[in-house]
């Protein structure tokens, strides 16, 4: 065949190559647009979460310390879905990368492995300071580190907030009330705390963290918010955190003895994590800067709660009573009148509905692990990978 006969075919092949490249480029752009508009389904978070695109004037850059933990990861989901840029900072002591891996591809999300007891320089608009182990076995494992996290970590975050003029919210705790002699507990109650007991590293750490928040507000005009969080449960709780909800569910699903420390008459109030996230965002973006209780006032005895979980899981487990743990509060119930008045907030998810969702989550965790041995009341390092 002559050269002149070959040229049209070569040109056609070149055109086809260009068309293929353009098609591939268009597909890449389409894929990037999709990845920037939603989460990616993962085994840990199979549900797709859509994100909106905010204009620059409305989009905030938000730091969440402890953002790979149980509560922090749900807060991340909320803020990402609203179109904000989220920076998660976590040392993965109790946090797990699996809790946030569905966002790793998203252009609005950043993950930094860092310990808050070390300073960090960032440019942010808001800081949700959640970093600190919250379950007794975990925070008692290294009590000095727990105190450092609540004190040095809070000072570092307040210093950051002061420098960049960011608003900072402290995740405080109902533990600052200790073993309360006032029931239910209002924010005006000063508490009944043993400063030398096994829980004091956490209780006193959070109390002094609140003091530092107000010192920075009064001396340096830092914009602060304080949430006193009561017992919270839901998917992504650490399977080995040793707390009532996770232990009872894991034991029930495996038909093992449900262990209660004490006679089971001690009471707790449990809120579902979605309600807590609603409260945190309302508090951060509202105008009230005194402490606010966030919890569900529905009160259960530990024995009744164990019985309810046993029924929901249709378990053959037996309830066993073991010696009471030192400094375990006899009663815990929030007075949420301040949250209702100042934030227009109250829990919406019924405990039973939240329990069903949490049981299904832990059912998957047990199936994936084969067996989970719940953590007892003694100090323990978190088990399992991130």
Convert 280-329 into a string of H (helix), E (strand) and C (coil).
HHHHHHCCCCCCEEECCCCEEEHHHHHHHHHHHHCCCCCEEEECCCCCCC
Q: How far apart are CA 126 and CA 279, in angstroms?
A: 16
Parallel, antiparallel, or unpaired: how do β-strands 267-269 and 299-301 relate?
Answer: antiparallel
Report the b/e string of 37-65 with b at 16+ CB within 10 A. ebbeeeebbeeebebeeeeeeebbbbbbb
Instruction: Exactly one of 128, 177, 202, 216 is catalytic; name it.
Output: 202
User: For this structure, is 202 an active site residue?
Assistant: yes
Query: Which among 386, 384, 365, 381 is positioned nearest to 111, based on CA atoms?
Result: 386
Q: How far apart are CA 367 and CA 133, in angstroms?
A: 26
Q: Is 65 helix (H, G, I), strand (E, B) or coil?
A: strand
Residues 6+ apart with CB under 8 A from 322: 259, 260, 261, 262
The number of angstroms, rounded, from the C-alpha of 281 to the middle of its chain's C-alpha atoms is 13
What is the phi/psi pair of residue 321, to 5°?
-105, 125
Residues 6+ apart with CB under 8 A from 244: 231, 268, 302, 305
Instruction: Catalogue the active-site residues.
Output: 202
């Amino acid at each position: 065949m002559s050269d002149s006969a070959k040229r049209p075919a070569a040109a056609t092949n070149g055109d086809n190559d260009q068309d293929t490249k353009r098609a591939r480029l268009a597909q890449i752009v389409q894929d990037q647009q999709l990845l920037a508009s939603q989460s990616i389904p993962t085994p840990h978070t199979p549900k797709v979460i859509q994100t909106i695109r905010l204009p620059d004037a409305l989009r905030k850059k938000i730091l969440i310390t402890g953002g790979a933990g149980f509560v922090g990861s749900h807060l991340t989901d909320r803020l990402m879905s609203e179109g904000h840029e989220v920076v998660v900072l976590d040392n993965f002591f109790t946090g797990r990368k699996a809790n946030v891996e569905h966002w790793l591809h998203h252009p609005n999300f950043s993950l930094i492995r860092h310990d808050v007891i070390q300073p960090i320089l960032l440019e942010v608009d808001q800081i949700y300071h959640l970093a600190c182990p919250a379950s007794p076995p975990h925070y008692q494992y290294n009590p000095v580190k727990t105190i450092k996290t609540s004190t040095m970590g809070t000072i570092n975050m307040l210093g950051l907030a002061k420098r960049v003029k960011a608003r900072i919210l402290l995740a405080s705790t109902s533990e600052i009330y200790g073993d309360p002699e006032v029931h239910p507990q209002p924010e005006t109650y000063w508490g009944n705390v043993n400063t030398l007991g096994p829980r004091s590293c956490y209780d006193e750490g959070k109390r002094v963290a609140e003091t530092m928040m107000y010192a920075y507000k009064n001396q340096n005009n830092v914009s602060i918010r304080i949430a006193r969080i009561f017992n919270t449960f839901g998917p992504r709780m650490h399977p080995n955190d040793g707390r009532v909800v996770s232990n009872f569910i894991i034991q029930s699903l495996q038909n093992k003895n449900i262990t209660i420390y004490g006679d089971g008459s001690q009471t707790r109030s449990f809120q579902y994590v979605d309600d807590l996230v609603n409260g945190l965002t309302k508090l951060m973006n509202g105008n009230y800067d005194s402490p606010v209780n966030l919890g569900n006032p529905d009160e259960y005895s530990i024995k009744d709660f164990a019985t309810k979980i046993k029924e929901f899981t249709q378990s053959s487990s037996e309830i066993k009573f073991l010696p009471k743990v030192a400094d375990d509060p006899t009663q815990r119930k929030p007075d949420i009148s301040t949250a209702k008045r100042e934030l227009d907030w109250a829990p919406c998810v019924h405990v039973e509905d939240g329990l069903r969702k949490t049981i299904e989550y832990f059912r998957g965790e047990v199936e994936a692990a084969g067996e989970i041995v719940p953590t007892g009341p003694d100090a323990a390092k978190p088990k399992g990978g991130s």
